[in-house]
């Protein structure tokens, strides 16, 4: 680790050029003839055909491989409401990951308003030039309203990564962990600490995958989300249950699964000890989990644990999802990223985890061996086979569910074991 992370990070972002991204041309422009094709008069030809048929923008522009990563800066990492401009380094970082992992081009856009209507209008008015919209670092509950409104107005995918990206990775890891612990999703009692974007989206996707709504206990700052409470917004009301359990400690008694998307050190050793046999703990607060892995493993030798950190096994990392999900969606010119596509991404990630780990992955992570098991329930981000497992699954689901503009790409090859 860097001795001085602050200086190293600032130097990385400043030198040799400010920022992390730039644009480059994809066609030559070194002669008069090429200039006349790139701009006037030649550029008029694609203008004419696109004016006559908007779908031809996919053929004659970069629309089909271009995603807008957009924020209002209201919930940037763990730093909170720092404003749109201060969120730009994160948006540039997302652009780097899109390009590095799935060769998707990105323009980052920072919108200087937190008014829902103004934000939606801004994004809707610029969306035509993009193949998809990745919303990022927008606070709940505003993020739910924004995504829904844009989804209704646009005919390209609108994907809030803090919601659905996180949910997809959590669900893939959790289903694998349940399999290893010999438990079923439908019968598992699940406690989710954190009722913001990630928590609500994750519980929604788990219900779509077969979790019992009656067995999900969501906990926010005021305790268990119950029908008896009168302070719940419409999104929390979806998860309100009729229970006499009031606190996180109450909720965790006998629970099979804990998912934390909240804050550091909120789960005590006694709470963990009170969980059911073979518990599953996803303590995803960063950089400090809801309970430290050292303490968790000291108290429970029968648990499977994941965190949001790269220095522990089972990192729940969104880079496993969004680049590859958009790759699959873009490759069939999808109009949305629907629930079928999200489930397909979960299935693709689960399947890859069960494949033999490549030697280069072991070398990259300095591990002597790694196989599907308690310390490997989710793939590593640098596994090149993610491109073989996730985009084809997402694209197939888009075609089968009717949101694709074109058919399943001929260049996709079926992934081994999936």
| 131 close to 120: Cβ distance less than 8 angstroms | no
Catalytic residue from among 7, 12, 39, 365 = 39
39 is catalytic: yes
Order of all β-strands in the sheet with 257-260 = 223-224, 216-220, 190-193, 257-260, 280-283, 304-307
Residues in the chain: 418
**90 token code pair:** 């994160």
**C-alpha gyration radius of the chain:** 22
Q: Directed axis angle between helix 386-401 and helix 88-102, to 10°?
A: 100
Q: Do residues 168 and 142 make contact, with C-beta atoms less than 8 angstroms apart?
A: no
Active-site annotation holder among 88, 94, 183, 380: 94
94 flagged as catalytic: yes
Catalogue the active-site residues.
Answer: 39, 94
């Amino acid at each position: 680790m860097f001795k001085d992370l602050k200086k190293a990070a600032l130097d990385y972002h400043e030198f040799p050029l400010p920022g992390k991204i730039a644009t480059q041309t994809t066609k030559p422009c070194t002669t008069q003839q090429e200039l006349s094709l790139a701009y006037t008069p030649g550029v008029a030809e694609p203008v004419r055909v696109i004016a006559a048929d908007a779908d031809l923008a996919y053929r004659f522009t970069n629309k089909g491989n271009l995603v807008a990563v957009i924020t209002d800066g209201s919930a940037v990492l763990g730093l909170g409401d720092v404003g749109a401009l201060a969120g730009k380094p994160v948006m540039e970082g997302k652009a780097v990951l899109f390009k590095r992992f799935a060769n998707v081009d990105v323009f980052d856009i920072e919108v200087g308003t937190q008014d829902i209507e103004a934000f939606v209008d801004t994004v809707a008015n610029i969306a035509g030039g993009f193949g998809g919209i990745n919303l990022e670092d927008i606070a709940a509950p505003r993020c739910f309203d924004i995504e829904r409104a844009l989804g209704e107005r646009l005919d390209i995918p609108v994907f809030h990564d803090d919601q659905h990206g996180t949910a997809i990775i959590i669900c893939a890891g959790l289903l694998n962990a349940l399999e290893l612990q010999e438990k079923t999703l439908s019968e598992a009692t699940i406690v989710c600490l954190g009722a913001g974007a990630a928590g609500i989206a994750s519980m929604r996707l788990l219900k779509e995958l077969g979790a019992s709504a009656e067995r999900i206990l969501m906990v926010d700052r005021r305790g268990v989300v119950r029908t008896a409470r009168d302070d719940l917004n419409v999104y929390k009301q979806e998860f309100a249950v009729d229970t006499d359990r009031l606190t996180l400690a109450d909720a965790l008694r006998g629970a099979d699964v804990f998912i934390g998307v909240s804050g550091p050190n909120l789960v005590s050793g006694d709470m963990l000890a009170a969980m059911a046999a073979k518990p599953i703990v996803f303590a995803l607060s960063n950089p400090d989990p809801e309970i430290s892995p050292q303490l968790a493993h000291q108290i429970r030798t029968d648990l499977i644990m994941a965190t949001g950190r790269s220095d522990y096994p089972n990192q729940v990392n969104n880079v496993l999802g969004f680049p590859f999900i958009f790759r699959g969606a873009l490759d069939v010119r999808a109009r949305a990223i629907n629930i079928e596509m999200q489930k397909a991404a979960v299935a693709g990630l689960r399947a890859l985890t069960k494949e033999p780990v490549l030697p280069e992955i072991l070398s990259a992570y300095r591990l002597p061996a790694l196989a599907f098991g308690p310390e490997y329930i989710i793939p590593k981000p640098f596994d090149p086979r993610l491109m073989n497992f996730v985009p084809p699954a997402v694209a197939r689901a888009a075609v089968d569910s009717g949101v694709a503009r074109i058919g399943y790409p001929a260049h996709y090859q079926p992934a081994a074991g999936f």
